[in-house]
Amino acid sequence: MERNKTMIRLIWAVSVHTRCFLRRYMPTDILLDAIRTRRGLKWGIPAMLLAIPYLLIANVCVQLIEDDAPGWLHLAVLWAIWNMLKMLWIGPVSAVLLIRARVREAVATRRGGASMTAEANDAEEGAVVDAVGIR
């Protein structure tokens, strides 16, 4: 039983470190973090267009695999499809987050707390930028 707990802890630690590495250094994850900020939410729908090149990459790799290319291209197909799905998903998510932020800002403006909302958004965006490591 103790051995299973140790294995689960090890798997958990490796997955956390892998996620941190990917969020810090992979271009699509950096882009997604930038889009999730208040200032970047408007770019979620246009970012969906970045799914097209990933779909084309996956298609080319599949064609090469069918023509007896090396088997490691299967990994490239998985990578391209995963990034395509991330780019497709950010559009609807950013639209919902943008609507939610605008409603929150409108309510705060009606209550007279517009400056507090702006400060909170700046602090949130600063925290995300610091976490990602972009300046």
Q: Confidence band (pLDDT; 50, 70, 90) for 129?
A: low
Three-state SS sequence of the chain: CHHHHHHHHHHHHHHHHHHHHHHHHCHHHHHHHHHCCCCCHHHHHHHHHHHHHHHHHHHHHHHHHHCCCCCCHHHHHHHHHHHHHHHHHHHHHHHHHHHHHHHHHHHHHHHCCHHHHHHHHHHHHHHHHHHHCCC
Higher pLDDT, 112 or 83: 83
Q: What is the pLDDT of residues 48-104, one digit of tens each?
A: 999 999 999 999 999 999 999 999 999 999 999 999 999 999 999 999 999 999 999
